[in-house]
């Protein structure tokens, strides 16, 4: 709160209207009355979204002009708000500019804080920085100093081919390369106000700049003491130009905050990558080749890693075991439990796979004894491709779907509770025979849950997607799985972050 004498009142409407000046403290000091001033406190605006409110005066601020002589008919009293060059008008303009800049930074940082994915945040940093420095294009090079990655380059107004051209410039000749290779740890920007007129500019850099049509650049490191060095941001101008002092200060404040946010998202992305990698390593590295049947699988894991899994293993006498399942929970513990459950089922399938009920009964007993606080669903099918005969049993799992030229229907399976929910699990198995050219689709409940629909509508959507498989791809189980996945989960729902894993295992019988 500013305690200003009544002769220097701040008009609120004028404060909101002014946009381009700042520097209240120097104005107050310049126009402070000689002698003991009235009670006054220095302006201390609250910090906004982690931004230091100390903003220096812009370099282009013009000193107030000398007051012009007032007409004899209407003399103006010096120091009144209406007098030319009155200190109140300057204070209003600069305070309004200050508040406007802080409001802009607040809005930009709020938009950045709403990003939850690293790639989305990098694009937001580029857009906000371009608005602050008055540029149209730019790029961010993410290259964490700890060497753990991920390393990536994101562009604004630059196509992938344009980024490829920029990457052909020797690293030491680029602004981001010099920033990333600094040994002194300084955070000074790299400014090239007229790139093509610089002496000693690398010939390849000149060629690329001419080809892409940029004539100036302004680059900042994405680095803070807490986060370390994450990368560099470069904004490109179509004509020779450079940001003024005020713009540099504002974009510096913004990138300091953005670096901390990017560091948090970077750690989250690394954790997600580790979970995905662990889950993938616990699943079959490749599907077996068995005569009379073609196999394909699709797996989508959530951001924290989940417990959905699938398996396909050759069994004695030319038989084939197919399994899908889901373990409750998410994160590393669910992934580990999934790995143990899958390994156990493989062992039981080799010993007594021709009896799916016995396989799941053994799995139920193991789960109750080793992990009593966890439950799971599972479906195991014993297939004889030469006879086109399948015997299957399920424990709390959704029924398979048969997709063919003349029918698309769910297999009638007996109802059963999930593994770990009963003192002793046992449910009768079912037997059926797919026709030549038909595909049996096994899946986990995550496919249904990701739709966001009630289960009856989700099953109807799945059936409609399977019935709509084009004739041209019915002989390819991988294409069938892709069609069902993208139809049931359109608009990127199959790839979006979700707590639900998705597994599809398709087997086409010849």
Domain CATH code at residue 143: 3.30.450.40
Domain-located, residue 211: yes
Are β-strands 389-395 and 430-432 bridged in parallel, bridged antiparallel, or unpaired? antiparallel
Identify the band that residue 25 occupies on the pLDDT scale cut at 50, 70 and 90.
very low
What is the domain extent for residue 166? 115-273
Domain-located, residue 445: yes
- The number of distinct structural domains making up the chain is 3
Point out the domain boundary residue: 226, 250, 273.
273
* pLDDT at 46 (0 to 100): 38
Shared domain for 255 and 346, answered yes or no, is no
Say if residue 36's pLDDT is above 80: no
Angle, CA of 171, 174 and 176, to the nearest 5°: 90
Shared domain for 165 and 240, answered yes or no, is yes
* pLDDT at 401 (0 to 100): 96
Domain-located, residue 41: yes
Shared domain for 291 and 266, answered yes or no, is no
Shared domain for 260 and 133, answered yes or no, is yes
Shared domain for 373 and 439, answered yes or no, is yes
Shared domain for 313 and 444, answered yes or no, is yes
Domain-located, residue 228: yes
Point out the domain boundary residue: 273, 296, 314.
273
Shared domain for 265 and 166, answered yes or no, is yes
Q: 3-state class of 293 per DSSP?
A: strand
* pLDDT at 435 (0 to 100): 94
Say if residue 54's pLDDT is above 50: no
Shared domain for 257 and 355, answered yes or no, is no
Shared domain for 298 and 245, answered yes or no, is no
Say if residue 31's pLDDT is above 50: no
Q: What is the mean pLDDT of the chain?
A: 82
Domain-located, residue 470: yes
Domain-located, residue 78: no
Q: State the pTM of this model.
A: 0.64
Say if residue 43's pLDDT is above 70: no
CA distance 216 to 238: 7
CA distances to 283, 314, 348, 396 from 505, in Å: 12, 15, 20, 18
Identify the band that residue 255 occupies on the pLDDT scale cut at 50, 70 and 90.
very high
Domain-located, residue 23: yes
Most confident of 13-22, 186-195, 209-218: 209-218
* pLDDT at 423 (0 to 100): 63
Identify the band that residue 496 occupies on the pLDDT scale cut at 50, 70 and 90.
low
* pLDDT at 178 (0 to 100): 93
Burial (CB count within 10 angstroms: exposed 0-12, middle 13-18, buried 19+), residue 292:
middle
Region 218-230 average pLDDT = 93
CA distance 179 to 157: 22
If residue 217 lies in a helix (H) or strand (E), which one and from where to where?
strand 216-224
Point out the domain boundary residue: 273, 295, 321.
273
Domain-located, residue 107: no
Shared domain for 494 and 356, answered yes or no, is yes
Shared domain for 423 and 470, answered yes or no, is yes
Shared domain for 230 and 312, answered yes or no, is no
* pLDDT at 424 (0 to 100): 65
């Amino acid at each position: 709160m500013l305690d200003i004498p009544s002769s220097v009142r701040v008009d609120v409407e004028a404060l909101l209207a002014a946009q381009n000046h700042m520097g209240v403290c120097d104005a107050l000091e310049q126009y402070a009355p000689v002698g003991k001033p009235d009670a006054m406190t220095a302006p201390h605006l609250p910090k906004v979204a982690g931004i230091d409110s100390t903003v220096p005066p812009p370099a282009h601020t013009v000193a107030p002009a000398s007051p012009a002589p007032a007409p004899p008919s209407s003399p103006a009293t010096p120091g009144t708000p209406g007098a030319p060059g009155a200190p109140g008008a300057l204070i209003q303009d600069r305070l309004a500019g200050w508040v406007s800049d802080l409001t802009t930074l607040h809005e930009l940082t709020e938009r950045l804080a709403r990003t939850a994915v690293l790639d989305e945040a990098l694009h937001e940093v580029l857009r906000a920085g371009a608005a602050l420095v008055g540029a149209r294009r730019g790029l961010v090079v993410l290259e964490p100093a700890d060497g753990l990655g991920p390393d990536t380059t994101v562009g604004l107004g630059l196509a992938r081919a344009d980024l490829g051209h920029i990457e052909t410039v020797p690293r030491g000749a680029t602004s981001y390369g010099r920033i990333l290779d600094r040994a002194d740890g300084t955070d000074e920007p790299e400014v090239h106000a007229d790139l093509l007129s610089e002496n000693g500019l690398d010939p390849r850099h000149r060629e690329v700049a001419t080809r892409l049509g940029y004539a100036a650049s302004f680059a900042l490191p994405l680095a803070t003491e807490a986060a370390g060095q994450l990368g560099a941001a470069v904004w490109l101008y179509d004509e020779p130009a450079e940001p003024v002092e005020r713009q540099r200060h504002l974009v510096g404040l913004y990138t300091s905050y953005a670096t901390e946010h990017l560091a948090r998202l970077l750690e989250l992305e690394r954790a997600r990558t580790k979970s995905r990698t662990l889950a993938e390593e616990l699943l079959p590295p490749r599907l077996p080749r068995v005569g009379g049947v073609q196999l394909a699988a699709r797996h989508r894991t959530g951001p924290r890693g989940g417990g959905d899994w699938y398996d396909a293993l050759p069994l004695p006498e030319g038989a084939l075991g197919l399994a899908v399942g889901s373990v409750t929970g998410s994160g590393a513990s669910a992934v580990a439990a999934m790995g143990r459950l899958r390994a156990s089922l493989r062992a039981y399938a080799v010993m007594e796979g021709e009896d799916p009920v016995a396989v799941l009964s053994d799995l139920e007993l193991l789960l109750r004894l080793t992990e009593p606080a966890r439950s799971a669903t599972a479906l195991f099918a014993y297939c004889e491709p030469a006879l086109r005969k399948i015997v299957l049993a399920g424990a709390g799992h959704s029924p398979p779907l048969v997709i063919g030229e003349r029918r698309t229907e769910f297999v009638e399976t007996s109802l059963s509770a999930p593994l770990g929910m009963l003192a002793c699990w046992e449910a009768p198995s079912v037997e059926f025979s797919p026709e030549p050219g038909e595909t049996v689709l096994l899946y986990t409940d995550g496919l249904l849950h990701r739709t966001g629909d009630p289960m009856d509508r989700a099953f109807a959507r799945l059936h409609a997607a399977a019935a709509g498989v084009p004739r041209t791809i019915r002989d390819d189980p991988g294409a069938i799985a892709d069609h069902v996945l993208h139809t049931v989960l359109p608009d990127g729902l199959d790839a979006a972050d979700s707590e639900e894993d998705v597994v599809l295992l398709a087997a086409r019988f010849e």
